[in-house]
Amino acid sequence: MLLLSIDWTNLHELLRSLYDEMMPLCEDMASVAKGVAGLGALFYVAYRVWQSLARAEPIDVFPLLRPFVLGLCIMFFPTMVLGTINGILSPVCKATSSLVEQQTFDMRKYQEEKDRLKREAMLRDPAKAFLVSDEAYDKRLDELGWSLGDMDTMINMYGQKKIYELGEKIRGWFRELLELFFQAASLLIDTLRTFFLIVLSILGPVSFALAVYDGFQSTLTTWLSRYICIYLWLPVSDLFGAILSRIQILMLQQDIENMQDPAFIPDSSGKVYCIFMIIGIIGYFCVPTVSSWIIQAGGAGAYGQKANGAGKMAGNGAAAVGGAVGGAIAGRIKKMF
């Protein structure tokens, strides 16, 4: 299928390279911000010097250094500001990324082990071995004769095998659909994160320039808090993915232990896996809210409410798709019998 050819890792890496390629635009915006900051610094220093002279007070030089420090940050914005913030926060992203990669690798390893033990468990059951093995199916046919009872048995075996294969295909299709939604939710968060970071980075010099003026000092802290909060979306989403992978690993380990019992017959429906996929789809839309708990950023609450609403709609849609698929399977099986 076309969906299986999508390399989600490359898409996330593409967003990283997009951010790096857009950063040179900060230099063009810095030239505009220099003029705005220079005019603001002139008014800032002149007003305070005039105020001190009018009151016959000594001039306090230290507060007058603020516009010059902001101007220095604007001149070397990509290196001094963005480079410092990204350098501090990037180890957090790398640590969470390696964590989720390790958990995903372990989950795939245990999933392969469970599939192998599941096949072996079904082969041990004579009543179900022919469903997963063509050799067992042919052997059962060879043991049967050509009487009416044997012919009826052959027809029932053929119908059961086709129903089992159809159910496996539908379950596989539904799992791929949920995995697509799950990866799409992760990519959506990463895309919005990259977009917001690019906008904040390009227009950051203007925010620093406006922070020179009286009444706009909070612009500086607001920009910093929003940038850090949005930057943390990636580590939070990686931690969420690692938690889900760890829960599935624990469940796979429990299933593998149960399959060690020869009398244990595994459940092939995969309901628990689908449930966790739906939880993951909804949970990714809560990442902005969780990031705002780490560092408070003004203006992010409205987006968090919209994202949570979108998560609920996605969960309802996934549940509706699951119900429709289940109803279609039941109706088709009923017609076959």
Q: Would you list the domain boundaries of the chain?
A: 89-310
Cβ neighbours of residue 109 closer than 8 Å, sequence gap 6 or more: none
Which of the 8 DSSP states describes residue 268? -
Spell out, as residue ranges, where the chain has pLDDT lower than 50.
1-5, 300-304, 307-308, 310-312, 314-315, 317-337
Cβ neighbours of residue 85 closer than 8 Å, sequence gap 6 or more: 224, 227, 228, 231
Residue 225 pLDDT: 92
Cβ neighbours of residue 8 closer than 8 Å, sequence gap 6 or more: 183, 186, 187
Residue 226 pLDDT: 93
Residue 233 pLDDT: 92
Residue 262 pLDDT: 65
Q: What's at 234, amino acid-wise?
A: L
Residue 129 pLDDT: 66
* Number of Cβ atoms within 10 Å of the Cβ of 322: 18
Tokens of 145: 């004769």
Contact 270, 111 (CB under 8 A): no
Residue 104 pLDDT: 75
Residue 329 pLDDT: 39
